[in-house]
Structure 1
Amino acid sequence: MINSFKLNSFLAILLTVLFTSCQQSSKEVQTYTSGTEKILVDESLAPIIEDQTFVFESTYPDANLVLVTKSENELINSFLDDSAQVAILSRNLSEDERKHFENKNVKIRINRFAVDGIALIAHNTIEDSTVTVEDIIKVLKGEVSPLGNLIFDNANSSTVRYFKELAGVKELPEKGVYALKSNPEVIQYVYDNPGTIGVVGVNWIVQPPVDLEKQVGSLKILGVKNLAGKVGSDAYYKPFQNDIALEQYPLLRSLYIINCEGGPGLGTGFASFIAGERGQRIVLKSGLLPDSIPSREVNIIK
């Protein structure tokens, strides 16, 4: 009869070996084109990243990208808490954020993959379809301005942070500026409340969700004139690719995929895909400006 103590010890060792083996197997499955990777995504950039993910996973069936959309502040907190190793932001890491990873000897890989134009939207029934950066800044400082209420996606969002920096303010005024919870809510609110001006990533208007196509069809993108003496101060420009490429549209921001895996993995594969020709073509189709313009071959038949 087998000694019960020896049997229990044997089973404990066996379970430990099996558990360790399973852990090693799961790590081995993680490659540039296979495995599972959690990716934190700035909510204002969700449409373009969802497009990239769909094509990437269709191309590599063994890849599973789990997108977690958050406001910028929430995203950064999650990223620094190591809840994910890959994040997609509309800004680069700050010096303190870099040190967080460097102190852990984690190599940071950063790729700029697009330039986005922040769109100002209004109901198509309004008469004036132009605004100036000067008037936007007045609203953000709580001063008298001819503009209607500005509606943002989230108090902790990247768009709010961008406009605070634009106006040089630390807090938004109590009147004239309001924050909801998401870009879809901004679109719906502006649709329901003519006279208000919404602030969203242009991709939400160029490629809106199916359930918001009707609302977007009744909205217009406003032309924006820059401050005197700056590029784009000679006329009103919109966040379309030509005006973004020439930097004539004033409200521009770079988009980055930040990879802190520390080694080869699915996040690196996805970052390479977005920065590659196929990923850049998806950016081009989305209405944003690719970081590198994809080449185009033209065959001339004589």
Structure 2
Amino acid sequence: MNAVEISDGLLGPLLLARNAIDRSAALRGDEEWLVRAWAAEKTRVLLVHEGRTLISRFTDGAALVLMSPGEAPEGTRYLLGVDDDGVPYFAVRAPLPPEATGEVAGLREAAVLLDDRDAGLLVYAVALEAWHDTHEFCPRCGSRTNITTSGHTRICPEDGSQHFPRVDPAVIMLVRDDADRVLLARGPRWPEGRMSVLAGFVEPGESLEHAVAREVLEEVGVVVTGPRYMGSQPWPFPRSLMLGFVARAVTTELRPDEEEIAEARWLSREELAAQVESGELRLPGQVSIARRLIETWYGSPITTADD
């Protein structure tokens, strides 16, 4: 894939950016409708606990283990939406019953197996659970907040302030030089051989394009130009939104920040393919936007031993 194609193209559907139901925001505060929906046998419920749920595997994929409201254990309910057939979907935040049918799985391993509906439901449920885990108390006065609007708002009983699910924007960028080599790097806590593209959080008062240039310069000392947006996907570990870019390197000398980067290298397509095949290089997982950025530059999907 040449420079024009990658710069002007988009990443296409991303595994964690899929959705097949209407989120039905207008129904979240409709108490009468919520009571009726929870009493309806057609309503489907998924369980979520510490980012994990139950799935059923089959030959070429998997599906969420969904149950009726009557089968669901007690727990905090989140309305996830309604599908085209009028079926409501809820998540219940509760420990996964040991006697339940299905395999316990987290989002990273399950997303590659699930269809669009189930992947979207699980991403949504995991993201809401992660937010509630860290936002039980009012940031103004410290009082414990109450959950309202089907898990989409927390209200402080003392000062009346409302708090909504938080999303932290982060840029993730594939940098390549004029020889069309890609820049990959490894964090200090990553195992040997595991490398990815660069990424970092957007700072207050900063544009996405400036964040791309700043992060690359800070992490590896490379000056880039022409950041081009390619696509985005949620990354609820715990609450990021990854915004993918490609950018061209103006300089190529690598000066890694030792606190952020343990190793960085430029790779041609031939070098990347050889190192992946030998096991010297391990790429990000298939659910990540990082993997899609690398494969878009490479020109085709890449099969690794971890897949």
Which TM class, normalised by the smaller chain length?
under 0.3
Larger relative contact order, structure 1 or 2 (CA cutoff 8 Å, min sep 6): 1
**What is the TM-score normalised by the length of structure 1?**
0.24
**Structure number having the greater strand percentage:** 2
